[in-house]
Amino acid sequence: MNMALKSGSAGPKADKSQPAVLAFVPDSDTLDAICRVVPGARRGVEVREGGIADAASTIQLASPPSLLIVDVTDTASPASDMAALKATCGEATTIIALGPDNDVGLYRSLISAGATDYLVKPITGQELRRTILSISHTEMADEEKRSGRIVVVIGSRGGTGASSLAAGIAWLLAHEFGRHAALVDLDLHFGTAALSFDVDPGNGLRNALEDPERIDSLLVASALVNCGDNLYILGGEEPIDEAVHIDTEALGRLLEELRQVVDTVVIDLPRHRIASNIDLLSAADGIGLVTDLSIAGLRDAMRIRKALERSVGHPNFKIVANRVGHAKGGELSVAEFEKSLEAKIDFQVQEVPQAAKAALDGKPLTAGMRHRASGAAVRALTTTLAQVVEVDEPKQHGWRGLLGKLKQ
């Protein structure tokens, strides 16, 4: 029996995208079992002769599939080879390993190396079908549970424009990327989130943060201030002579509720709240540290960067030089700033005086930068921190779209 390809062409091509489901097996019995479950004659599924080494070499020549079924029978180092394969495929690929040994140690080592499951041969169609459906349901449940992303913006000092950038990021997500976004301003006395959009902040955020037991979907819905299509605000202008306690447990519950109803939560975090919100910073999908190019900005950006490296070590941490050119006589050069900071500036946003008129119209500065270089920089910052792309992806894609075609 020729098992070179059950469907499609005779081999991989560098310019060809992989199918949604790809399998590499060395024997006809396993091949037939797979084809009975994920029909190999249909577009989107390919079953090829080979093992884990063939899978790795194939995927290096084209984009990885969504679901990869691979036989580890012929490898002397299943766990090491699986780890290398997972690194090549990336986190978006689900891997099911097959092998002849009913060994708990082997199972655990393969799972630790990146496989989602390990099935002992000979496999049955029913067993494979149940495994695929179980993985799909688990991953979709996880996606539904953790829906919205969290972006945190911190100013190294007052006057850097961090709050304006946070508002601009939220506005871009809602108006340019079609995301539902919520802007949460945790400076409940002097925050400018509501002011940036010319709305009344209300007192819903304070009520929520002071009593975690009250937080539920109804409270969050009533606290959100609608700022037009896709954009919501949570902020405050609390009396200056009244202390406001932010309960960290309440903030965590609030964010979990928000993530169920919006795509991205943008948090304007005052720098004095960093120490009490390490858990929030660790859970964020992106952190932006905003500074100017002054000596004071350098000192405080350096201190905050080092503190976050020690306590969080976030992989998507970006340094933003904002209002560049605002005070030319009192600014360090970018090269001088980076040398002293011992880190690169990831984004530079030039001062645009003309864009300030947007604030008078109840719009964030980003609205006045749309066709300027600074607008492009903020847009790039937004896509990086919120991890969005220019075009929305369909809700159902990849191998899950084939689940309805699984043979009964």
pLDDT digits (tens, 9 = 90+) for 343-362: 999 999 998 776 666 666 66
Question: Which strand (E) or helix (H) includes residue 170?
Answer: helix 162-175
Q: Both 114 and 30 in a single domain?
A: yes
Residue type, 356: A
Task: Give domain status of residue 396, yes or no.
Answer: no
Q: Both 111 and 159 in a single domain?
A: no
Range in 8-17, 183-192, 233-242, 256-265 the model is least confident about? 8-17
> Taking a C-beta distance cutoff of 8 angstroms, is the pair 89, 64 a contact?
yes
The CATH number linked to 166 is 3.40.50.300
Pick from 292, 366, 365, 288: nearest CA to 324: 292
Cα 267 from Cα 287, distance rounded (Å): 9
Q: Both 132 and 228 in a single domain?
A: no
> Taking a C-beta distance cutoff of 8 angstroms, is the pair 224, 233 a contact?
yes
Task: Give domain status of residue 16, yes or no.
Answer: no
Helix and strand numbers (H, E) in the chain are 15, 13
Q: Both 43 and 158 in a single domain?
A: no
Cα 117 from Cα 94, distance rounded (Å): 9
Quick one: tokens of 69? 């079924």
Q: Both 73 and 208 in a single domain?
A: no
Render pLDDT for 281-291 as a digit per residue (tens, 0 to 9): 999 999 999 99
Q: Both 265 and 358 in a single domain?
A: yes
Render pLDDT for 84-98 as a digit per residue (tens, 0 to 9): 999 988 888 889 999
By CB neighbour count within 10 A (0-12 exposed, 13-18 middle, 19+ buried), where does 325 fall? middle
Task: Give domain status of residue 401, yes or no.
Answer: no
Q: Both 183 and 295 in a single domain?
A: yes
pTM: 0.61
Q: Both 127 and 258 in a single domain?
A: no
Pick from 148, 144, 141, 91: nearest CA to 116: 91
What pLDDT was estimated at residue 38? Answer: 63
Cα 201 from Cα 408, distance rounded (Å): 55
Task: Give domain status of residue 13, yes or no.
Answer: no
Q: Both 138 and 165 in a single domain?
A: no
Q: What domain range is 30 assigned to?
A: 21-144
What pLDDT was estimated at residue 33? Answer: 80
Task: Give domain status of residue 39, yes or no.
Answer: yes
Question: Which strand (E) or helix (H) includes residue 290?
Answer: strand 286-291
Q: Both 138 and 226 in a single domain?
A: no
Task: Give domain status of residue 404, yes or no.
Answer: no
* DSSP SS3 for 186: coil
Number of domains, the chain = 2
Q: Both 41 and 179 in a single domain?
A: no
